[in-house]
């Protein structure tokens, strides 16, 4: 074990409107960086790099600030700009959703800069944004030891060449099964992930929602199911994938390791963190989560699967 490494996340902070079959919520704290940081903070201190407009509610800043592991020195507020916002509707099958609106707001402007105090970060997660922006962030972490990125169908379609260039520079990629298929043209998740590792990354994690996740690493393959959740516990799936990545990277940062076994075991932490995220709108359940609850659920999951701690 090498010991804890510093961890940073770049990505979006947003204001969400979420419709589910049972409830509607407006003004929800959202964004990939928010969910990632909330999930990672239980396992490792995390430095957040993002930008919001001056319409971002102070209550949302306070909510992130209550996570003791999150450093907000890299969160920039721009006067006169509007915060990224998203609205979506989930169906009875929560794996299905439609986007109702996206207002990019401040994301149309220049991205935030990484504070000097963060430039020694060793573990970096590039949350979903344009691959050219993600590539620029890489260069701002000169002491990086592990860089993992996320992406989405929009960039696969509209910035394919830049995404392929980015993949040559990262150590790992996290994406869902639909995105893996769109990127590779391969439907089988294991085969698609294996193909992605030929594009540059050492490993690829393909998220399959309630069907778990697949890890393909140059040193091995692992498949983990999702944590079993009853229907009444699934309130809002938004951010589950981002908090999954947060739990995964948080565990890797506290271990200070990047080998296949460490990443495989990190998936179990990501899975358990995500299982709490879906129990509320926004990161509300994570705000109420205790370390004891997290460890207890992880122990249940680990014992059932024989996954390392």
Secondary structure of 5-69 in HEC code, one letter for each residue:
CCEEEECCCEEEEEECCCCEEEEEEECHHHHHHHHHCCCCCEEEEEEEECCCCHHHHHHHHCCCC
Complete domains list, the chain, with CATH: 7-305 (3.40.1190.20)
Has residue 107 got a pLDDT over 70? yes
Has residue 228 got a pLDDT over 90? no
Has residue 234 got a pLDDT over 90? no
Residue 109, Cβ neighbours under 10 Å: how many? 12
Residue 308: per-residue pLDDT: 47
Average of per-residue pLDDT values in the chain: 94
Mean pLDDT over 76-102 rounds to 93
The two tokens of residue 89 are 């509707």
Residue 2: per-residue pLDDT: 56
Name which residue leads in pLDDT, 232 or 166.
166
Q: pLDDT-based confidence at 94, cuts 50/70/90? A: confident
């Amino acid at each position: 074990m090498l010991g804890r490494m510093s961890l940073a996340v770049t990505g979006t902070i947003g204001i969400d409107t979420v419709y589910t079959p049972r409830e509607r919520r407006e003004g929800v704290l959202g964004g990939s960086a928010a969910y990632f940081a909330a999930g990672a903070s239980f396992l490792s201190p995390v430095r957040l790099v993002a930008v919001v407009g001056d319409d971002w509610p102070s209550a949302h800043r306070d909510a992130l600030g209550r996570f003791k592991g999150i450093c907000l020195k890299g969160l920039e507020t721009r006067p006169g700009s509007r915060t990224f916002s998203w609205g979506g509707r989930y169906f009875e099958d929560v794996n299905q959703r439609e986007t109702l609106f996206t207002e990019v707001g401040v994301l149309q402007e220049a991205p935030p800069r990484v504070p000097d105090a963060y430039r020694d970060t060793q573990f970096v997660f590039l949350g979903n944004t344009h691959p050219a922006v993600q590539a620029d962030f890489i260069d701002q972490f000169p002491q990086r030891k592990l860089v993992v990125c996320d992406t989405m169908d929009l960039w696969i379609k509209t910035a394919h060449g830049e995404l392929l260039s980015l993949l040559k520079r990262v150590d790992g990629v996290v994406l869902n099964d639909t995105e893996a298929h769109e990127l590779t043209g391969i439907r089988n998740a294991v085969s698609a992930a294996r193909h992605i590792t030929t594009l540059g990354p050492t490993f690829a994690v393909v998220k399959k929602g309630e069907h778990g996740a697949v890890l393909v690493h140059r040193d091995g393959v692992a498949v983990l199911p999702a944590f079993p959740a009853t229907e009444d516990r699934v309130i809002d799936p938004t951010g589950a994938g981002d908090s999954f990545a947060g739990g995964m990277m948080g565990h890797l940062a506290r271990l200070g390791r990047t080998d296949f076994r460490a990443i495989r075991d990190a998936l179990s932490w990501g899975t358990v963190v995500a299982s709490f995220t879906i129990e509320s709108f926004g990161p509300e359940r994570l705000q109420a989560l205790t370390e004891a609850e997290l460890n207890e659920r992880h122990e249940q999951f680990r014992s059932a699967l024989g996954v390392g701690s």
